Structure 1
Amino acid sequence: MTVSERIGALQRIMKQKNVDIYIVPTADFHQSEYVGEHFKMRKFLTGFSGSAGTAVFTQDDACLWVDGRYFIQAARQIEGTPVRLMKMGEPHVPTIPQFLEDTLPEGGVIGFDGRCVSLGDGTCYEEIAAKKNGRVSYGEDLADSIWEDRPARSKEPVWELDLAYAGEDRKSKLARIREAMKESGADCHILTTLDDICWTLNIRGNDIEFFPLVLSYAVITMDRMDLYVNGAKFSDALKERLGADGVVFHPYNDIYEDVKRLPGDGTVLIDPVRLNYALCRNIPEEVRRVEARNPEILFKAVKNETEIANIKKAQLKDSIAHVKFMKWVKENYDKEEITEMSASAKLDEFRAQQGGFIRPSFEPIVSYGEHGAIVHYTSSPETDVKLEGGSFLLTDTGAGFCEGSTDITRTYALGRVSDKMKEHFTLVAVSNLSLASAKFLYGATGMTMDMLARKPFWDRDMNFNHGTGHGVGYLLNIHEPPTGFRWQYRAGETQPFEAGMIVTDEPGVYLEGEYGIRLENELLTCKGVQNEYGQFMYYETITYIPMDLDAILPEMMTQEERDLLNAYHSAVYEKLSPHLDEEETEWLRRYTRAV
């Protein structure tokens, strides 16, 4: 079936079921940012494959909301289909709630699969329907019957993260969670977010491509943790160890009936942003609810000493691999046929040589020339192009090592590039270094700090249409809340930086039809001086890869900016040269020279 035929089939079902508007988000039943093949219904219906976006269908219309990362990609992928692109944040583009209010007829019905919609969003839809004397219908996946060859849910085995990598055992983590429950007055805590559950239990799996997560739900009380999961994926030995720590196994879907039996005199802690609407609606009305952010969110964002030491090892491994790759691609792009996809495979080959490499930590973005302007581009056999001189190669990739996950972006000049390209590259480098060098008082948030990255752009009446950085999980989600760099206010994204948080620093320039540039390092948040003014904080850069001097214009930089670049390159050489052979070391010396 074509996209047009799929949408037509869905709209016929909507008419049969008397559903006026049907919403299909990206999420699975656990509000995951990235989902397994079984849950990619939005992609199936619209053809858009990006990791974020929401499709909204009426009985005679189809719309797709995406943010700035996906404007170009979405436009290309839905071309020739009935889907209309809604560019979030752009003038005259309504938000989804505004569209629903304007479009829903009096007495109308808004439909969605309640397992794939958060409580917060579902409640919003419910309120909009009520204004029109209508209702929501959330108990059915209307499009399931259309997807005849829908992939099954993953049955991949679960493995345990050793204490040498986790740095804290399950009992300790559960004790901290239960203390947070007490502080909120709750005696029960429902978890549906996969990274929170995997972090708590020190388990990992393979249920979502690139992300070592396990499809599961959990209910934590003061004396046990009920785990709803496909138990066949666990070895008997791991089940026994989990059982010794108070974990009780149940079939994956049983949670929907079990929460109906929660004691009426109890109090349950739930996160309305992360708990799905259908599950929440099954909690008895008499049960008191405390709505707050999952305590696991902040616990896992602040890395312990063991995790930090391991992550630095992973970063060193990946930095070595990147330097070997950088040398290889710059020396060979014009001597042999190298494409986006073969370059991506070569980078992973260098990673595997470092030992402990599990797999990429997210879908790799390796883009040449004009493809680099597509922020979340993914090369495919249909789009794969040969690398040539005169443009940029952008690689935004990550590795899952036993010691942790990485997320690194570099842009390489292949051959001679124009002065305009060098000016933009230098701008991105200055932005990256300006943010990384920040010293700030405790209490600052990503909204505060993002100005340091944006100022070089805003001074030139320029901008980039994505956040400047995000938290990074430890062999979990590569995008990890609650911290990051973003100049615009978003509810729930005003967490002050804590020592031990790891965040990316990744400004960029994107010219559609020409090229893209992005430079991304990971930063470790550290405590600095404490005095009468308060606790000062700073960032330690833990990614060590040259910023391509072939694309830098030193005369465009202030002396302070050149000093920052030279200091960074000096650290790169010091960290990596002991791990390289003589030829590689000499090459690195040239690409980390002072400017």
Structure 2
Amino acid sequence: MNTQSSTQGAVKERLAAVRQVMQQEGVSALLVPSADPHLSEYLPGYWQGREWLSGFHGSVGTLIVTADFAGLWVDSRYWEQAEKELAGSSIDLMKLQPGKPGALDWLAEQTPEAGVVAVDGEVMALASARQLEERLQARNARLLTTRDLLGQVWLERPSLPQSPVYQHLPPEATVSRSEKLEQLRAVMRERNADWHFIATLDDIAWLFNLRGSDVSYNPVFVAFALISTSQATLYVAPGKLDAALRQVLEADGIAVRDYADIHRGLSEVPAGSNLLLDPARVTRGLIDSLPGDVRWVEGLNPTTLAKSKKSTEDLLHIRNAMEQDGAALCEFFAWLEAAQGRETITELTIDEQLSAARARRPGFVSLSFSTIAAFNANGAMPHYRATEASHSRIEGNGLLLIDSGGQYLGGTTDITRMVPVGTPSLEQKQDCTRVLKGVIALSAARFPRGILSPMLDAIARAPIWAGHVDYGHGTGHGVGYFMNVHEGPQVIAYQALAAPQTAMQAGMITSIEPGTYRPGHWGVRIENLVFNREAGRSEFGDFLEFETLTLCPIDTRCLLPELLSAQELGWLNGYHQQVRERLSPLLSGAALQWLHERTAALSI
């Protein structure tokens, strides 16, 4: 039996076991989100129940199981991958599209009268639970959040991660945890909150200047935090903090309790207190532990906005990390160019060589996400990942898409570049040039301070739309400071809600990554990280502009220069001049020669 058939068989057995438990419990539908109690993007194995039950390995997706139906909702980034992985599993691929019903909409419409929808409340956001519960009540149905049905059949469930926690120290940690706690408490006082509960791992790691490795690629650790105007408690599993670190935290007024004690800790919040929480970033199961007479002050976690605005001191370290990352990329690309045609290269080789180049750089800690090396048709899947069982050799003619990034003590990187293999076709070059025009259009834009970030999306899309082309994913996401590669609150995507918290502020770092995907043929994406900086003031208010942080040549062999305007050509040549000047001191030999060749000025 081949691997795919074996997986399909396992999925069918698991679905049958789940349906048996659902029947015993009187449950009409089981909702399995891709989530943990911290609503993380990347999940420790203990909470990867949706992947275990469905056999789909993408990082995002929502599974619904009923007695006679199973469906997985995913957005366009995962359609091709999901179609392959769900084939023969009896699970339907449900394509998420703007304006069309999602998983919760389906449940609200399809749950029978007086039916019961079950979900593990520990992993469902409070805001989502409220929304679904209200719609189910309209059908005289109800939401059950107190039972983990999946846990009853998942007998070989992985254990919780046990990696040690360590400090993020100066000089890279530019603000002490005591100062951050005081700033947080100042916001709590402004909002008339006595207590604040934080479940999101990046907020906790940033606030306490601590890091870990419990989640792949994100330097965070599994924990909760409960903070009052006079005390702070960190809930983390025993053994993850050594005695010396516990003493350091205690000296800063931070108590440490067992991770499993969080329900008790929430139940002990004093009666009549005002507790600040973000309903989109805490789960229903946790909040149910609060005493009924605790008043909720709902709003964005103050740390979410605070950590998104990098300081001038942070930026010094970030620029250095970008230089080290750019130098690693130059060494890798010089190797790749020399090796093509001389040795066997696969998508897996790309990952190995690029990861090794980054690991040689000072301050490197880990990758910031799983490297995407996708040749030709594989590039049409935005979140493709090569495996030992399925990958391509880099040979013949076409385009190689490489999306990668690193975690450094002084910053987080994320970059996508296109590499020509053999002779790319005219159509491939047209797509690359059109995507670059989108990158340049947004990179060169000026905009009012406070503009809601989803509104900027059309600037990057306009040159692509002009060719009757579009792409399904967002154009940009926020990026952390030695933290999660995907960080809010800003996001450049028309699909996102233009909420007040998405307002662009000075100091934010965001990706710009438009693309074009032709299923079965090739995919194109070019990505840089940019920094929001002051651009001056007029009678119309304060304006911001982008400083491009990423430093690596954009391979002009993939382009049709005659399709670039004089302004676009000037931007590209200016960018390449900056890349050459800043990376040359860090390189020598073949890598330096490659840098100079790939940053040569273009003319029409």
In which range does the TM-score fall when normalised by the shorter chain?
over 0.9
Q: 49, 53, 61: which is aligned to 2:57?
A: 49
Structure 2 equivalent of residue 318 of structure 1: 325
Per-residue deviation, residues 497-524 of structure 1 (Å, max 9, x unmatched): 1111111111111111111111111101
Distance (whole Å) between structure 1 residues aligned to residue 517 and residue 492 of structure 2: 19
Gaps of 5+ in 2: 1-8
How far apart, CA to CA, are the structure 1 residues paired with 2:216 and 2:105?
Answer: 34
Match of 2:88 in 1: 80
Question: Partner letter of residue 419 of structure 1?
Answer: L
My pick for the range that moved more, 192-201 or 481-490, is 481-490
CA distance in 1, matches of 2:55, 2:318: 36
1:342 aligned partner: 349
Q: Tell me by how many angstroms 1:491 deviates.
A: 5.4
Question: Following the alignment from structure 2 to structure 1, what is the Cα–Cα distance between the partners of residues 115 and 531?
Answer: 50
Instruction: Evaluate the alpha carbon distance shift between residue 138 and residue 224 of structure 1 in structure 2; reply closer, same or farther with a 3 A threshold.
Output: same
Assess if the C-alpha contact under 8 Å between 1:166 and 1:306 holds in 2.
no
List per-residue Cα deviations over 1:548-567 (Å, max 9, x = no partner): 11111011111111111111
**Alpha-carbon separation, structure 2, partners of 1:252 and 1:263:** 20
- Equivalent in the alignment of 2:258: 251
Distance 1:260 1:494 in 2: 29
Answering whether residue 26 of structure 2 is matched by residue 18 of structure 1, we say yes
Residue in 2 aligned with 1:485?
Answer: 492
Bigger shift: 384-393 or 199-208? 384-393
Structure 1 stretch displaced more, 449-458 or 294-303? 449-458
- TM-superposed CA distance for 1:90, in Å, is 5.7
For residues 179 and 269 of structure 2, the distance between their equivalents in structure 1, rounded to whole angstroms, comes to 26
SS in 2 for 1:233: coil
Q: Aligned partners of 2:231, 2:135: CA distance in 1, in Å?
A: 39
- CA deviations over 1:243-265 (Å, ceiling 9, x no partner): 11111111112111232232221
Please say if residues 11 and 60 of structure 1, whose CA atoms lie closer than 8 Å, have aligned partners that are also in contact. Answer: no
1:11 partner amino acid: R
1:396 to 403, 409, 422: 403
Q: 2: CA distance between counterparts of 1:181 and 1:159? A: 27
Could you tell me which of 16, 25, 38 is aligned with 1:8? 16
Answer yes or no: is 1:377 the counterpart of 2:384: yes
Pick one of 143, 164, 181 that aligns with 1:174: 181
Write out aligned runs for 1:271-286 (5 A): 271-286=278-293
1:47, 1:78 within 8 Å by CA — same for their partners in 2? yes
Counterpart of 1:449 (choices 443, 449, 456) is 456
Match of 1:533 in 2: 540
* Cα distance in structure 2, aligned partners of 1:506 and 1:15: 46
**Displacement of 1:447:** 2.2
Partner SS, residue 319 of structure 1:
helix
Which of these residues, 440, 461, 477, is aligned with residue 447 of structure 2?
A: 440
Q: Counterpart of 1:227 in structure 2: which amino acid?
A: L
* CA RMSD of superposed structures (Å): 1.4
Amino acid at match of 2:426: D
Amino acid at match of 1:335: R
Distance of 1:293 and 1:494 partners within structure 2: 7
Counterpart-to-counterpart distance in 2, 1:425 and 1:376? 18
Partner of 2:153, secondary structure, is: coil
CA-CA distance at 1:489 after TM superposition: 4.3
Q: Which amino acid aligns with 2:87?
A: E
Question: 1:3 Cα shift?
Answer: 0.8
What is the CA–CA distance in structure 1 between the aligned matches of 2:129 and 2:140, rounded to whole Å?
A: 16
CA shift for structure 1 position 488: 3.2
**1:366 and 2:369 matched:** no
Question: Counterpart in 1 of 2:4?
Answer: none
Measured after TM superposition, the shift of residue 51 of structure 1 is 1.1
3-state SS of the aligned residue for 1:528? strand
Aligned to 2:508: 501
Q: 1:34-45 to 2 correspondence within 5 Å?
A: 34-45=42-53
Match of 2:238 in 1: 231
In the alignment, which residue of structure 2 is the partner of 1:204?
A: 211
Q: Is the CA contact (8 Å cut-off) linking 2:300 and 2:501 kept in structure 1?
A: no
What amino acid maps onto 2:25 in structure 1? K
Give the SS at the match of 2:87.
coil
8 Å CA contact retained: 2:452, 2:499: no
Q: Counterpart in 2 of 1:328?
A: 335
Alpha-carbon deviation of 1:493? Answer: 7.0
- Alpha-carbon distance, 1:231 to partner: 3.0
Distance 1:215 1:492, change over 3 A: farther
**1:11-38: CA deviation from partner (whole Å, max 9, x where unpaired):** 1110111011111111111110111111
Question: What does the per-residue CA deviation read over 1:266-293, in whole Å, with 9 as the maximum and x for residues that have no partner?
Answer: 1010100011101112212211111101
Task: Report whether the alignment pairs 1:220 with 2:216.
Answer: no
Task: Please tell me the residue identity of whatever aligns with 1:35.
Answer: L
CA distance, structure 1, for counterparts of residue 594 and residue 478 of structure 2? 32
Helix, strand or coil at the partner of 1:164: coil
Where 2:266 maps in the other structure, the secondary structure is helix
Q: Which runs of 4+ in 1 moved over 6 A?
A: none
The letter for the 2-side match of 1:84 is D
Q: TM-score, normalised by structure 2?
A: 0.96
The offset of 1:582, in angstroms, is: 4.3
Q: TM-score, normalised by structure 1?
A: 0.97
